[in-house]
Structures are given as C-alpha cells and as structure tokens.
Chains A and B, each alone.
Chain A
Amino acid sequence: GAVVSQHPSRVICKSGTSVKIECRSLDFQATTMFWYRQFPKQSLMLMATSNEGSKATYEQGVEKDKFLINHASLTLSTLTVTSAHPEDSSFYICSAGRTVEAFFGQGTRLTVV
C-alpha cells in the first residue's frame, strides 16, 4: 500500500486564489520531504526541500513567497500555491524517504483557470 499520501489528487481553482496540497508519510516519520513539479512531457523538477520544524530550502528560481511550505510534524508537509496563475498549472508531487528509497505521493494535478 501507499506509504506517502498526497491530497487532493486534482484541483481546479480560479486565478488569484490559493491552493493547499498535503503530503503525509503514513507509516514512518519523515524529517525531510521534497516537493517536485512536472510540466507536460517534462521531467520532475525539485522545487524545495521541506524540513520538519525549520524553514524549507528552495531551489533556484522558485519563489518562496509564492510556494509556501510548512512541515509542522514528522508526518505532514503542506505546499500552498498562493495567488495562483494559469502558468502555475502543473503536476505537483511530494516525496519522502525511508532509508535510501524515495516514495512518492500520488501527485496533485493543479489547473488554474
């Protein structure tokens, strides 16, 4: 069964609104989680590293004020896309590791209209 659960799987929102995506590790504690974005026919691109109890680390070119990450517990990280625009429409996936293997959430397909 899934060890990382992501919710929601699909969301359609209006331009200018905010969307929160949750990522939970189900049977292990994850001090670190990762958020990726994937545009059609492209590879996964790491957006940020979510650290439990501290600030997230963002990759170059990712706006930290636009993509808010909160990792308040050892099993939950959230990504909030603030003031979403159509160009933010993408597939967002989280991952968490257990030993050397990374497990991925089911992904969230965000469409901003």
Chain B
Amino acid sequence: RKEVEQDPGPFNVPEGATVAFNCTYSNSASQSFFWYRQDCRKEPKLLMSVYSSGNEDGRFTAQLNRASQYISLLIRDSKLSDSATYLCVVNVAAGNKLTFGGGTRVLVKP
C-alpha cells in the first residue's frame, strides 16, 4: 500500500462548479498535511496547509480526518485557471521530508 494515495482523475469540472477529492495516508504518526498545486512541467507550489480544525482560503477548503486518515480538498466556483494537478503531501516528522501522493488531475472546462 502506498503511503499517500490519491485518485489520479482526471476530474472534468464545468466552470463554476464545485469539485472535491480526498487523499488517504497510511502512517498514523503523520504530523503535517498540505495540498500543493503542480502545473504541467513546473515545480509544485504550496496551495494550503491542512489543519485539524479544517481551514478555508477563498474558494478552497481543506479538511483533515485523523480517525479515518484522510484529507480532502474542495474547490468552489471553479475557474479555468484551477486546472492543474493537486498533490497531497504528508510530513511524518519534523525536517520537511515530505511524502507525495500521486496527484489528482483537475480539468476545468468552459
């Protein structure tokens, strides 16, 4: 079993719609959780950290469920520019050694 698993997609989303997807992690000792965005042939960039209480940043909402060991990302009012691969990233211990999920590809279409 992979340490961090994601549905690879693609999720084809009409512009303006809402899309949500999850990521599961296997190590219960995982401490920090992040969503990164990666555009084609570019480096990943931090989208948002995921906090235990859940957090929202504009149209993006992240949730953490430690009991079931998954995190989620919800995108509201999807824009064409939201088309990208969203990487679930888990940090098991301090030191920034990150474990990446395979990524979920989102395609927003007019």
Does A12 lie at the interface of the complex (its beta carbon under 8 Å from any beta carbon of B)? Answer: no
Tell which of A14-22, A60-68, A75-83, A104-112 binds the partner. Answer: A104-112
Residues on the A chain within 8 Å of B98, using CB = 34, 46, 95, 102
A43 adjacent to chain B (CB < 8 Å): yes
- Residues of chain B lying within 8 A (CB to CB) of residue A58: none
A81 to B44, CA, bound (A): 22
B87 touches A43 (CB 8 A): yes
A95 to B34, CA, bound (A): 15
Contact A101 B46 (CB under 8 A): yes
Q: How far is the CB of B93 from chain A (nearest CB, A)?
A: 11
How many Å lie between the Cα of A97 and that of B98 in the bound state? 10
For A101, the chain B residues whose CB sits under 8 A away are: 34, 46, 49
Residues B96 and A43 in contact, CB atoms below 8 Å apart: no
Do A32 and B95 contact each other (CB < 8 Å), given the known contacts A43-B100, A44-B87, A100-B49? yes
Give the B interface residue count (CB, 8 A): 21
Q: Provide the B80-97 mask, 1 if CB < 8 A to any CB of A, else 0.
A: 000000010101000111
Q: Which residues of A contact B87 (CB under 8 A)?
A: 43-44
Q: For residue A107, which residues in chain B have a CB less than 8 angstroms away from its CB? A: 41-43
Judge whether A100 and B99 touch: CB under 8 Å.
Answer: no
Contact across chains for B103 and A104 when beta carbons are under 8 A apart: no
Could you tell me if A42 and B96 are in contact, using CB atoms closer than 8 angstroms?
no
Residues of chain A lying within 8 A (CB to CB) of residue B89: 102
Query: A91 to B96, Cβ gap below 8 A?
Result: no
Residues of A within 8 A of B32 (CB): 100
Residues on B lying within 8 angstroms of A by beta carbon are: 32, 34, 41-46, 49, 87, 89, 91, 95-103
- 7 further A-B contacts with Cβ under 8 Å, apart from A42-B102, A44-B100, A93-B44, are A43-B101, A95-B98, A100-B96, A101-B49, A107-B42, A107-B43, A109-B41
7 closest Cβ contacts across the A-B interface?
A97-B96, A104-B43, A43-B102, A44-B100, A107-B43, A43-B100, A102-B96
